[in-house]
Amino acid sequence: MFGKRLLPLAIATAVGIGLTLALVFFYAPNDADQGFVQKIFYVHVPMAIVALFGFMAAGIMAVKHLRTGDQRWDMRSYVAIHMSIILGVGVLVTGSIWARAAWGHWWVWDEPQLVSFLIVFLLYCVYYPLRFSIEDRERQARYSSVFAIVAGAFVPLNFIAVRLAETFTHPRVLGTTAGGMPGSMRFTFIVALISMTLLFITLMKLELTSKRASDQLKRLRRKLEAQAASA
Amino acid sequence: MPALPLEEAGKYVAGAYGVFVVLILVYVAIIGAKVARIEQELETLNDLVDKRAT
């Protein structure tokens, strides 16, 4: 019943997450400035990056749907947004915990990175009522794709806004020039980012497989009902 | 703000990683429930086909 390559993907994800945790707690040194609390960085930042790239990938999938008319691209776009929203919840909660530990506040409204991520998150929360308020499947897919493209184009602004922001209240560990992070921290971060990407792909594939199986089941039931009616 | 002592920082770090683990577990549990429902429906349809065949 499960899609091809799901098992090796799931194993790679589990190994990646295990390796990441080992590197975070036994290899990467404590931050000189923030101390042990900086370990939150290795879960918070990869989640944020993968969620934002997930939103953009959903936009690209939506373009493919509009160009080809293939409903599978719409479903992929929907699942990518769904997964990114779930990661987005994680980003907001872990970010709040980190903010409380590092700055003494659960939320800082004048911090552009936090607020811009919240805006992106809330924007995508609108996707669900928009999608499910349309009953006709084709119109639903078309309107959802248009939303995913427009919102996906807005996401890079989140990155640009942060880079242009003058305030440096938010911890800037990913510098634009070399030397922002020691090698061991950088390596741990890259492993964490790869693991988070693998987790995203695995969960997306799992959700898509479950949706496809559910659709096939519905079709089978309809066929059987039609046969029973004609007999 | 100065770095927090390890025992206090540990609570925040455990909280953040705990949120991540719970989020993934809840999601996997929801997908598991969906798959179980699909399996149950398949069984029902199988029974229906068997009944018709006999």
Q: Give the global pTM.
A: 0.88
Look at B23 and A86 and tell me if their CB atoms are within 8 Å: yes
Those residues with Cβ within 8 angstroms of residue A96's Cβ, 6 or more apart along the chain or in another chain: A106, A107
Burial of A29 (0-12, 13-18, 19+ CB in 10 A): exposed
Residue A99 lies in a domain: yes
pLDDT at A34: 84
Q: How far apart are CA B15 and CA B9, in angstroms?
A: 10
- Please give the radius of gyration of chain B, using alpha carbons only, rounded to the nearest integer: 23
pLDDT at A174: 60
pLDDT at A127: 94
Structurally, chain A folds into a number of domains equal to 1
3-state secondary structure of A165: coil
List chain B residues with CB under 8 Å of A203. 24, 27-28, 31
List chain B residues with CB under 8 Å of A210. 31, 34-35, 38
Supply the range of the domain harboring residue A172: 6-230
Residues B35, A125, A200, A37, Cα dihedral to 10° = -120
pLDDT at B25: 94
Query: Residue-wise pLDDT tens for chain A (231 aa)?
Result: 456 688 899 999 999 999 999 999 999 888 878 888 999 999 999 999 999 999 999 999 999 999 999 999 999 999 999 999 999 999 999 999 999 988 888 998 888 788 888 999 999 999 999 999 998 989 999 999 999 999 999 888 777 776 776 555 555 556 545 456 788 899 999 999 999 999 999 999 999 999 888 888 888 888 888 887 876
State the amino acid at position A62 in one-letter form.
A
Residue A81 lies in a domain: yes
pLDDT at B54: 75
Residue A47 lies in a domain: yes
User: What is the CA angle A98-A189-A5, rounded to 5?
Assistant: 115
Q: What is the DSSP letter of A39?
A: G
As a whole number, mean pLDDT of residues B24-51 equals 89
Residue A1 lies in a domain: no
Contact indicator for A202, A3 with CB cutoff of 8 Å: no
CATH number of the domain encompassing residue A161? 1.20.120
pLDDT at A23: 94
**Residue B49 corresponds to which tokens in the numbers above?**
């086909």
Q: How far apart are CA A149 and CA A73, in angstroms?
A: 13
